[in-house]
Structure 1
């Protein structure tokens, strides 16, 4: 098994003058863990459209090489000697190229562009595509975000089913520890349409919120031996899960959400909650998968 602690933090860049949010987040992660920082620029050339009629592969490669050079130069100027910076250039479909390189990375960091709904439909989201298939955890950082070292930082994690929450809670506890933050565990339930009213009648009488909170506390208690120094709060509430996590992002330094295995081989690894949080959160979002291949980014120390 690859020792992920020896691998670099990867930042994928398309605009060398507009990736400071991702750069600062990645630099903190690399510095905290003693990793290098790798700047990746992936470019894909299609000569079938009229807009590319005068663009050959040689010209495209020169433009891509200049983009990478400027990005590495900018990162070096901004970060100084905080972390070792290197650069990698790849030609190929952008999402797949980043996913391929992620296998040799400790963490992939992407900067989210605030696209209109129509733009997202037409171009699709690089962040969502990479997050759905990367071989390592993916952090998506909102454009314009800047680190703030305020008092009482909070890391928020969304947990759907407490009995299956061990992996994501362990990851979130590790993230909270390295930030000296409180971990806020959020469980939200909601059913569409008139089923929600029926569900509320049932769960209200059964003390659903108390029951789920106890289940979550049991899982946290099981991890206490490794993370007993991390303060934890548990919130259970009725509402749309994605809306609750986006709201929580306004008072968090990080939101942790899970990726899931699709029901069919070609299905999406991102559920609607994760997809919405990646798109709308106001702080960085860390997407992890509840499987062995994603363990090892953070470990109990």
Structure 2
């Protein structure tokens, strides 16, 4: 089956932003865009309620997706846009829809303040259970947000893309995550910033207060490990400018801070075979909930 870019649409501002991002990515990839709307079964005793009458059901199940598709075709000429309506629980249906997708794009409900969660239970469940890359896009995301500022200091779609940011654990790197980040940078004609954050071992903390040379030694070890991981990828993608950083400190915090200057954040998620719970790891959890840039989560073994 031919690959497509799939975007979930429920009529919310965040899902509309996700559909717009998905259309731009589909154009970069040269792939069709499939807009998926999930219609969750309504209990029989609620079907007759005024808010769930025939007119309302028609509005949500036909008018919104039709108008969304028409708008996407008009704003993104050359991108094939198709609609598909699925039935079932949103998390299960979207996870199923992702199986044959190049990537799945979902909206995140950006809240005000640094403590506001950006990803709901459906998004977390889909990220945790799909084997395909999933991109989370915050509400209000626009094309200009992915680009550098113009001479007036205003981001513009006419300026080059901001760098792609790759969060990498140099001690357990995965080729699929690294390749995804390089390909994303190549499509955009931009640079790649690789960030390997690491925490100091607890038993080193006391010694560091007396010997800062120990800290410098650890920094050097992590920088060397990151450089070794990236060496073959630099050779494979010589056209991509790569910067490597391996600062000490919380990887999640470091990535969230760096995301402010990125067009896309790429992180990995180790596949967990348990069917229960939405286990995505602490770093992915922090980045998904607080990143100001779209986040691509790439599953790997």
Larger mean CA deviation between 65-74 and 126-135 belongs to: 65-74
Verify the 8 A CA contact 2:116 2:290 in the aligned structure 1: no
Question: Which residue is equivalent to 1:30?
Answer: 26
For residues 1-301 of structure 1, what are the structure 2 equivalents within 5 Å?
6-15=2-11, 19-47=15-43, 54=49, 59=54, 62=58, 63-79=60-76, 81-115=77-111, 124-148=120-144, 149-150=147-148, 151=160, 153-190=162-199, 197-198=205-206, 205=214, 207-262=217-272, 264=274, 266=276, 268-291=278-301
TM-score, normalised relative to structure 2: 0.81
Judged with a 3 Å threshold, the aligned counterparts in structure 2 of structure 1 residues 108 and 152 are, in CA distance, closer, same or farther, namely closer
Judged with a 3 Å threshold, the aligned counterparts in structure 2 of structure 1 residues 198 and 93 are, in CA distance, closer, same or farther, namely farther
Verify the 8 A CA contact 1:47 1:56 in the aligned structure 2: no
Runs of 4+ in 1 over 6 A off after TM superposition: 55-58, 116-121
* Partner deviation per Cα, 1:128-161 (whole Å, 9 max, x = no partner): 2211112311111111111234346211111124
Q: For residues 212 and 177 of structure 2, what CA distance do their matches in structure 1 show?
A: 25
CA RMSD between the two structures: 3.2
Verify the 8 A CA contact 1:26 1:37 in the aligned structure 2: yes
Report the CA distance between 1:196 and its aligned residue.
7.5
Verify the 8 A CA contact 1:16 1:71 in the aligned structure 2: no
Verify the 8 A CA contact 1:256 1:288 in the aligned structure 2: yes
Question: Which residue is equivalent to 1:297?
Answer: none
Report the CA distance between 1:119 and its aligned residue.
9.8
Report the CA distance between 1:239 and its aligned residue.
1.6
Secondary structure of residue in 1 paired with 2:123:
helix
In structure 2, list runs of 5 or more residues that go unmatched: 149-159
Q: For residues 57 and 20 of structure 1, what CA distance do their matches in structure 2 show?
A: 22
